[in-house]
Every structure is written in C-alpha cells, then in structure tokens.
Amino acid sequence: MDNAQLFGFFVVMGIATFITRALPFVALAQVKSHYILDLFGKSLPPMIMVVLVCFGLMSLEIESVARGGLSALAFLIVIILHAYFRHPLLSILAGTGVYVTGIQGFGL
C-alpha cells in the first residue's frame, strides 16, 4: 500500500466521520422543541453516567481490604460532592485524585 492510497483512506474516513457527526444536526434543524427530544435530553446523561459507573465498578480489581476501602472512600467523595455542588467535573476529579493519591502515595 503506497502513501497516496493510505492518504485516500484517511480522507474517506474523515469525510464519513464528519457526515455522521453533522447528520443529526442537519436532520433535526427544523425541529426546535419536541417532547421526545426533550425527554432524551433530560434522561440520557444520567443513564450514560449510570452505565459508566457500573462499568467502572465491575472492572475494579480489589486485592485487599485497604484497596476496597479506598475505592469506597473515593466513590463516597464523588457522590457527596456531586450531591452538594452538582458539578460533575469537580466530583470526578476529586474522587479520582483521592483514589490515585491513595494508590500512588500510600501504596494501597
């Protein structure tokens, strides 16, 4: 495979990616407010977060009681900060910081 053919593949992939990202905005440009879109806009972000949390907790490897306690502490910090401040980035960064500090700093 030569460079021109490889470049052609990248161009086609770029165009296909752009079309799939822009198509919903073009197709729904005429729909300003629809109850189904409002429902999806309100329900999809929490559902996606639940799936991500479940996936993260299922793939968590707990080798010791200390690691399990650290995981529970980080999870509790995320829940408390998000419930109090309602700022996802803050709660995720704080929970991740506690977990990484516990593993790297204290060797848990």
- pLDDT single digits (tens) 48-85: 888 888 887 787 777 788 888 888 899 899 999 999 99
What 3-state DSSP class applies to 60?
coil
pTM: 0.57
- Which residue stretches of the chain are H helix? 3-27, 35-58, 65-85, 88-100, 106
- Residue spans of the domains in the chain: they are 1-30
Model pLDDT for residues 77-97, shown as the tens digit of each residue: 999 999 999 888 899 899 999
The amino acid sitting at 40 is: F
